[in-house]
Homo-oligomer: A and B are copies of this chain.
């Protein structure tokens, strides 16, 4: 008898019919002998609708109250799920984040889990019930309701799997697994039966939308086995495995792309110690999430520093730079470009296989795609190119690295 934590995202429980379909699947898993604990997100677009309501009520949105508001969505979903299970004769108990023992810090809207004390969940499980836990929420050390952020239900599921010592954490979603590229873009994209944590981390960091990167980090750090699969077709999805098992994998696993970022360049900065530190500390203090950073070779003691930020944060980043930091650093000017795309080639196999970068650059060049920035990790190479070329680049690279199906 295996203990499985099953997480269902918003689209998987979007309406009463979907809730009943999921309950039916859970009933089947139990009949096959599994113990199931569920983590459920808010139904469909409910979180967005709550945010719209807040917009209509106030221009001031205190974090404590936003979290009280948003977490109402998951409460509805867990209660309805328990009713659907009861309708099938499966005894179930709903638990809010607080009731399930998720203690978090006091950082509203984006709280971090400090500790899980899942006593009530365990009791319910041992009594033969299906515990149904609200995703993405907890209670802070100040006893306030907290929200773990968008995509936080994946993190709830992974952390709960660890706390319950579950045999498997299944993340059910609206795609049937992890693909070698976005299947909407690359018809020949293939579903991967398995992937390593490192590869999945790089993919989620460079545009693969599911699962949430943070949950993959937690799973990786705590050795929680993941299975990313579909709540619509119920077919087996993609297993996320440790390094060793992946030795036989091909060199390159996937091509990802991301159109959500913008590029900022601080031009002609004196190349002296402390410049980067001052620059990125100022952005970090304002909560601007900087991603790729590239510093050009110094000429005549001056350099250019380019980096990418989410396009949402572009205005804020520019205003921070222009309100003093840039001139304080002695920079000539600040430029930005909000029509960039990033394409990334990912695969643990590239560590020991030279020539991957060369193939990537040659493929882009052969198709007249200009590379504006490059950054690499041990298992990833990313190029910033113009946004309009990103989709074509993904297709060329998918073919060039032999990932096309058939």
Is A332 located at the chain interface by the 8 A CB criterion?
A: no
Smallest beta-carbon distance A26→chain B, Å:
13
Is there contact, CB below 8 Å, between B68 and A75? yes
C-alpha spacing A73/B76, complex, angstroms:
9
Is there contact, CB below 8 Å, between A19 and B68? no
Mark A104-147 against chain B: 1 for CB-CB distance below 8 A, else 0: 00000000000000001000000000000000000000010100
Interface centre among A20, A57, A96 (most CB of B within 10 A): A57
A261-280: which residues lie under 8 A (CB-CB) from chain B? none
Is A80 located at the chain interface by the 8 A CB criterion?
A: yes
Task: Given A54-B80, A56-B16, A75-B75, decide whether A86 and B62 contact each other with a Cβ distance below 8 A.
Answer: yes
Is A251 located at the chain interface by the 8 A CB criterion?
A: no
Is A303 located at the chain interface by the 8 A CB criterion?
A: no
Is A319 located at the chain interface by the 8 A CB criterion?
A: no
Cβ contact of A53, chosen from B16, B59, B68, B92, cutoff 8 A: B16
Cβ contact of A61, chosen from B56, B60, B83, cutoff 8 A: B83
Is there contact, CB below 8 Å, between B58 and A76? no
Is A218 located at the chain interface by the 8 A CB criterion?
A: no
Contacts of A16 in B (CB 8 A): 53, 56-57
Is A50 located at the chain interface by the 8 A CB criterion?
A: yes
Contacts of A66 in B (CB 8 A): 79, 83
Nearest CB in chain B to that of A55: its residue = B16
Interface centre among A20, A58, A87, A145 (most CB of B within 10 A): A58
Is A201 located at the chain interface by the 8 A CB criterion?
A: no
Is A373 located at the chain interface by the 8 A CB criterion?
A: no
Is A343 located at the chain interface by the 8 A CB criterion?
A: no
Smallest beta-carbon distance A58→chain B, Å:
4
Nearest CB in chain B to that of A86: its residue = B60
Is A383 located at the chain interface by the 8 A CB criterion?
A: no
Contacts of A80 in B (CB 8 A): 53-54, 57-58, 65, 69
Contacts of A227 in B (CB 8 A): none
Smallest beta-carbon distance A239→chain B, Å:
31
Is there contact, CB below 8 Å, between B75 and A60? no
C-alpha spacing A62/B65, complex, angstroms:
29
Contacts of A58 in B (CB 8 A): 20, 80, 83-84, 86-87
Mark A86-102 against chain B: 1 for CB-CB distance below 8 A, else 0: 11000011101001000
A36-64: which residues lie under 8 A (CB-CB) from chain B? 50, 53-54, 56-62, 64
Smallest beta-carbon distance A357→chain B, Å:
50
Contacts of A78 in B (CB 8 A): 68
Cβ contact of A79, chosen from B60, B69, B84, B96, cutoff 8 A: B69
Residues of A that sit less than 8 Å from B by CB = 16, 19-20, 50, 53-54, 56-62, 64-66, 68-69, 71-73, 75-76, 78-80, 82-84, 86-87, 92-94, 96, 99, 120, 143, 145
For the A-B complex with A16-B53, A69-B76, A72-B75 known, give 14 more contacts whose Cβ atoms are closer than 8 Å: A16-B56, A19-B57, A20-B57, A50-B76, A53-B80, A60-B86, A64-B94, A65-B80, A65-B83, A69-B75, A69-B79, A71-B75, A72-B76, A96-B145
Give me 16 A-to-B residue pairs in the complex whose CB atoms sit less than 8 angstroms apart, sorted by A's number. Answer: A20-B58, A50-B76, A57-B84, A57-B87, A58-B84, A60-B87, A61-B83, A62-B83, A62-B86, A65-B80, A65-B92, A68-B94, A72-B72, A75-B75, A96-B145, A120-B143
